């Protein structure tokens, strides 16, 4: 099987379950950004996070494939993000945050290699969330997707802080001039 099909040469793509839409349709923008987020998480994993963060990132990448498939499916059944997926994110946030000093101000994104990569992933996650919210206003989607992305961006923030602490990379507090 060849990687190229030529079916998208006219600027359209197929959805799971049938139907074709423009490649810049809101649904495609949403799950394309989920794919971008997944790639950023792969890049963060390539930076050598601690084994616990690496395992968590792999689990998140798996869930992002589920979320992407859910967004790409307009007819028929597919795997779905569930309440237990959201609960797992919340549990990870609580566990990682317990070992961090409380925030008293905004912090400037950055730090070490892993922490910086996770901050980038967090911002891509927020963009994906905005695109999914916009899609939800026109094509009703499962609200669990929005909740999952909201929790995931929080988790990525905490993971960045945790990675920076593990790597002894100081956080820079933001102070307005």
Q: What DSSP character marks residue 49?
A: -
Residue 100 is predicted with a pLDDT of 96
CA neighbor of 107 nearest in space, from 119, 98, 121: 119
Per residue in 70-105, pLDDT (tens digit) is 999 988 788 899 999 999 999 999 999 999 999 999
- Convert the pLDDT of each residue in 109-131 to its tens digit: 999 999 999 999 999 999 999 99
Contact yes or no for 90/151 (Cβ under 8 A): yes
* Residue % of the chain over a pLDDT of 90: 80
Name the residue with tokens 């916009």: 134
Paired residues of 20 in beta bridges? 14
Please name the residues in contact with 104: beta carbons below 8 A apart, sequence gap of 6 or more.
Answer: 173
| DSSP letter (8 states) at residue 16 | B
Q: Confirm if 26 and 113 have CB atoms less than 8 A apart.
A: no
Q: What is the pLDDT of residues 39-55, one digit of tens each?
A: 999 999 999 999 999 99
User: What is the DSSP code string of 122-155?
Assistant: HHHHHHHHHHHHHHHHHS---HHHHHHHHHHHHH
CA distance 124 to 57: 15
Q: What mean pLDDT do residues 52-74 have?
A: 96
CATH superfamily of 23-94+110-170: Cobalamin adenosyltransferase-like (1.20.1200.10)
Between 4 and 107, the more confident residue is: 107
How confident is residue 22, by pLDDT bands cut at 50, 70 and 90? low
pLDDT score of 156 = 98
Question: Taking the complete model, does pTM exceed 0.75, yes or no?
Answer: yes
Residue 78: per-residue pLDDT: 87
Report the mean per-residue pLDDT for the chain. 93
Q: Specify the pLDDT at position 133.
A: 98
């Amino acid at each position: 099987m060849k990687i190229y099909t030529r079916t998208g040469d006219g600027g359209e793509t197929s959805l799971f379950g049938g139907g074709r839409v423009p490649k810049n349709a809101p649904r495609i923008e949403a799950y394309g950004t989920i794919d971008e987020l997944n790639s950023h998480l792969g890049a963060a994993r390539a930076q050598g996070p601690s084994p616990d963060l690496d395992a968590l990132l792999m689990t998140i990448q798996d869930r992002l494939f589920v979320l992407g498939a859910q967004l790409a499916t307009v007819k028929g059944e597919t795997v779905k993000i569930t309440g237990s997926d959201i609960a797992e994110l919340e549990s990870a946030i609580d566990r990682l945050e317990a070992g961090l000093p409380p925030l008293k101000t905004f912090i400037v994104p950055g730090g070490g290699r892993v922490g910086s990569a996770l901050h980038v992933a967090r911002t891509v996650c927020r963009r994906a969330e905005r695109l999914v919210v916009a899609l939800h206003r026109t094509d009703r989607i499962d609200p669990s997707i929005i909740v999952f992305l909201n929790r995931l961006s929080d988790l990525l923030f905490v993971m960045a802080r945790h990675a920076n602490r593990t790597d002894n990379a100081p956080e820079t507090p933001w102070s307005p001039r």
